[in-house]
Structure 1
């Protein structure tokens, strides 16, 4: 739900036309059955039951959902705090037909993206992947709880319900520690969390395609969990089936920026940028426009500058992950092994700019 502004790509509006054919067929079939069921109440009950069964795997009971205050806002809707069946949750509400400004084709594409996200997410089970609880598409039983009582929602509202993670986005956590920086052991542990989550996704043949610190959330113990599968897709057996600029400025691999075929190694590249960001608590290429970054990354092999105080073991992981040649990048399970082998007992964290650049690289108490 990233805002679109100069020099940035908003992931939730990209690549909707190239959604998996299987998911598009599923969407069309499910909605056709639902439409026919409403028009012909006495039609074949077997067909209606089949449509219901298709959605039972991930559909929530709206009567068990309490929607509370807003956590974040975006073009297509909002993310709210909530409670589902007694559990704290985050609720992503999407409204695609607002005031009739969108065409039927646009709404169909957005619904297809919604179905894609649900189809990918509901099957996943890993400690470093945000837990999916359920979803509903076009339910009339949704209400938002306010100080003045309950407000009913339009029937075209759809929602995704996931576990609530009180630590917020990893990006925000890094910004808070921009001056002080993070202790080396914290950097490596967070990197391990993210790499293990991505390794799991890749083992399930899922390419996230928008790996960035804004899409990583923290629980109360500061464990990193991957979120936002809005542009994720099952990896195609034919690499040429996966093309198009999908992702976010600064994290996109050269082959993605180029519009060339790509595979799961685009996530490995993005992980390398995230690793640099976790170590430095800074943004990659803050002063460059989209076109400048695209040109420099692809043609001049531009990468973030690794600080001299960064231990070689960690710097090596960054460099291998963001190699211009996807074939030379490691698989994520190899990245996990490399990170597990790093010794954090002697420190090695980033030195704040306002501190002496001497032996402070090894101060164990730096960072939270």
Structure 2
């Protein structure tokens, strides 16, 4: 049948164009007919054509791993039985950021009407950790909770509860206008009593010029030594004793905090090795990678005692490398001021002895500190009073 205006030729040309348009034109190429029918933004999956040699299989593997990790986390959260210490997220209100450290971020908040500090473990963005990494992080978290939740002492911060992993917590954004941020589904937190006095480190910094009265130095030292003595009686080694991990209440009572690296003392000292803690406070055996026990806390206490008396930082002018080498190989220790009473100086020296076996136990340290007479002064002399031979005056310091 003849078509008007050369219709047969035009039809043949259109068929050829249609066939040509259906050929593969790069990854995801589409026919002109489908493109016209669907329009921009309306491309269906069945119309898409992919080149196998241009598919990034490695990227797909990463995406699949992230997806499986998220699914695994959600399944764990919904299927596992709750621990006795787990909090009800609906009763927790997180108010503002207090501090950010190595093992997590600390916020102030309220739980069931009680003022609390909330420590969130920083595990990175949701889906970034593998299943194995997440399992290791959870095991570490449970270790910290296991240490903390059974402790009961006036010089140890009180444990309120913890979350093993939930996405129900609302975290205030850094920018108040942005409201709240959402947490990864694996996020964990520890909730403890809030102490309004801040850290011992901040308290010492505020008094770096005028120094602390001798009675206050001994009171703080006794609080810390009693808390450590209690931990050691429970077979717990803190392993990160430093001024930054000690908190004060409004009456300046000191309480030990942050058990992120604490662990139950091993029966065999060889099972406890590795550099764990903060360099300026670390015992020589820890720095040197040798086996250690609870006496590493005694050494760290000695450094804290010097820091509390002097309201200063140990080894402030040395690099980390210089400190590590000198402490281990040259018996470097902070210089004790001449105005420091011999009774206190002797406690420092005993605690930071190179040989762990010669260091006293913390219960013995408590007795040594209790025997010190604070009625005649003996505190560190304020910077604006250091003239002549004040170190030899009858009353040495506040």
Report the TM-score range of the alignment, normalised by the length of the smaller protein.
0.7 to 0.9
Compute the displacement of 1:291 (Å).
1.8
SS at match of 1:114: helix
1:89 aligns with 2:119: no
Tell which structure's C-alpha radius of gyration is larger.
2
Aligned to 1:170: 200
CA gap 1:335/1:241 in 2 versus in 1, 3 angstroms: same
1:1-368 equivalences under 5 Å are: 35=75, 51-52=81-82, 55-56=83-84, 58-74=85-101, 77-98=104-125, 100-144=127-171, 151-355=181-385, 356-359=387-390, 366=398
RMSD of aligned residue pairs (Cα, Å) = 2.3
Q: Which protein, 1 or 2, shows the higher relative CO under an 8 Å CA cutoff with sep ≥ 6?
A: 1
CA gap 1:290/1:65 in 2 versus in 1, 3 angstroms: same
SS at match of 2:376: coil
SS at match of 1:255: helix
Compute the displacement of 1:63 (Å).
1.2
Determine the C-alpha separation between the residues in 1 that align with 2:76 and 2:111: 30
Determine the C-alpha separation between the residues in 2 that align with 1:74 and 1:343: 37
Compute the displacement of 1:94 (Å).
2.2
Determine the C-alpha separation between the residues in 2 that align with 1:358 and 1:37: 67
CA gap 1:37/1:291 in 2 versus in 1, 3 angstroms: closer
Compute the displacement of 1:37 (Å).
8.7
CA gap 1:365/1:288 in 2 versus in 1, 3 angstroms: closer
Structure 1 spans left out of the alignment, 5+ residues: 1-31, 40-47
SS at match of 1:98: coil
Compute the displacement of 1:119 (Å).
0.6
CA gap 1:88/1:357 in 2 versus in 1, 3 angstroms: farther
Give the alignment's TM-score, normalised by structure 2: 0.76
Compute the displacement of 1:139 (Å).
1.6
Compute the displacement of 1:104 (Å).
3.7
Determine the C-alpha separation between the residues in 1 that align with 2:105 and 2:292: 31
Is the Cα–Cα contact under 8 Å of residues 95 and 156 in structure 1 kept in the other structure?
no
Give the alignment's TM-score, normalised by structure 1: 0.82
* Number of aligned residue pairs: 322
Question: Which digits, 9 at most, give the CA deviation of each residue in 1:217-266, with x for residues without a partner?
Answer: 00110011000000000000111111111110110001101111110000
Compute the displacement of 1:169 (Å).
0.7
CA gap 1:142/1:34 in 2 versus in 1, 3 angstroms: closer
Compute the displacement of 1:97 (Å).
4.0
Aligned to 2:49: none
Compute the displacement of 1:33 (Å).
12
Question: Which digits, 9 at most, give the CA deviation of each residue in 1:197-226, with x for residues without a partner?
Answer: 000000000000000000000011001100
Compute the displacement of 1:142 (Å).
1.4
Structure 2 spans left out of the alignment, 5+ residues: 1-71
Determine the C-alpha separation between the residues in 2 that align with 1:108 and 1:37: 13
CA gap 1:333/1:33 in 2 versus in 1, 3 angstroms: same
Compute the displacement of 1:352 (Å).
2.1
